Structure 1
Amino acid sequence: MFELVLRAPQALVEPVSEALMGELEALSVSVEDADADSGAERALFGEPGLPPPQSGWDRSTLKALFAEEAQATDALTLLLAQDWTDGLQVQSLDVVPDEDWVRITQSQFAPVHVADDFWIVPSWHQPPAGAAKVIRLDPGLAFGTGTHPTTRMCLRWIARQADHRSAGWDRVLDYGCGSGILAIGAALHGARGIDAVDIDPAAVTATEANAAANGVQLHAGLPDRAQGRYPLVLANILATPLTLLAPLLCGHVRPGGDLVLAGILSRQAALLQDAYAPWCRLQVADEDDGWILMTGSLPA
């Protein structure tokens, strides 16, 4: 395999990438900040719910992979022959050694400790000693592998509340289920009648597969799958959609039931409290690395 490395101004990044992946038949194209780790480095992505500070880096490094050296050299020749590629610079053309990419990827994901004897363990790892409750979950297309603070806080809340609340969890709603990890965690702690819903069909498919792999029963589907009221409603999304969803989510909580919200930055607590005030009083129940977990109960 051969890697062609180019440097491009912002205006050329998209058209050059499209040409490489299209008629020039690159296997993949990645884009990096050419000024990374220097004084000129700039953040491209903003905080959740806020627009990015800029649409692209001033200078980008494009790395295109080709199966054959001739394909890479032909692509480079054709690109440089175009009038519109003025400003495109060639950095290198190198052989990429064969690697065990599966092993390398797997090595980046280790078991995640949630609470007490509760762990999230990728399928290629053995559960740690003393792990009584284990979610087997591999990285996939849907959000939720247990490594993000918002997911860990939700699972931690479930684990800590289960002893004195799970008897009443005869119905549970995981709204915005992603990988289904929260629904699976609830099932492992005694919840029944679980509905896991998401607007993304890929998330529904991932949730069904992950539930089967963990031997738990749940019903996954699109948001219209959620019907009626539940003693426990979980939603790990982001602050802006959680604000907009306040009437809907509260409408699914049974009187006296619990609402658990995550995907919220510490500075957004008051925003959520105001949005949910007509139905319940939200409070901060946990905090991890700048993110907070908020919970509330509907009046019985």
Structure 2
Amino acid sequence: MPTQGPFDLPAHVHSALTPLNKRLVVNRRGSTVWHAQTTSGPFAVKIGYPSQTHAWTALAPAREAAILRQLIPEEEVRSGEWEKGTWSAQPWREGESLFSLWEPHRHPSKPAEPNLSEALSCVAALAALHESGWVHGDVQPNHFVIGPTETSLIDLALARGGDVPEIYDFRYHGCLVHYEAPEISSSILKSGTAVPTMEADVYALGASFFISATGWRHVSYPDDADRKDQRQAIVDKPHRPINVPGVLGTLIEQMMSHNPADRPTSAEVFQTLRKAH
């Protein structure tokens, strides 16, 4: 059985970064993430290892690093290998996740309409990624970090759109099912893999807005349903009624259209929200 961590920074990674201090951020699904303060600034350091269900998680940090080097200055990204997989370091993005920031909206006693500026900043981040030719493949509310001056879309290990070294590449087996588009779920049920698309990213962003504002998953299924049954529900059932008020609710309905061709692009969502804002 694979060891589940958390894993400390391997000695050679510690030597490369020489952190002044560090704190554990998360350890799950084959990834230990540290917030490391260095003389060059704060970094998110990811230590990848095989999980109980997936071997590819060991390669994810190096794969993400290869993608980031095509999107941000190369000197801001470091990566390498260690005995159980790969590791990477990238600039730490300060802020709160979309899901955390919208927590007050999930209480009936609080204002029901989410902040359009925050929604617009998330759309802008996704639209910018799409404009650069990349598909994210794992859009979810915890991957939008909303800071005081900018919103960052993080966790690009599953992204597609450019060259990735073959030794670190792996096939796409879907994302967190709570945000998975019907066509992605259908493909995985049939073949075990899928091709991430910008249309599926838009669906996932709509589902992210919906769950962050309401607390409800986009499609209903039992909490204890296995992954196959969850995906079958996404394929077979309509999404939940969209009860988010205002222009955002209308947009979510469009973004979560069952037919990918009926969804607006991320750029179109951005333009609509900007005009409403």
TM-score normalised to the size of structure 1?
A: 0.24
Higher relative contact order (CA 8 A, sep 6+): 2
TM-score normalised to the size of structure 2?
A: 0.26
The structure carrying a bigger strand percent of its residues is 1
The structure carrying a bigger helix percent of its residues is 2
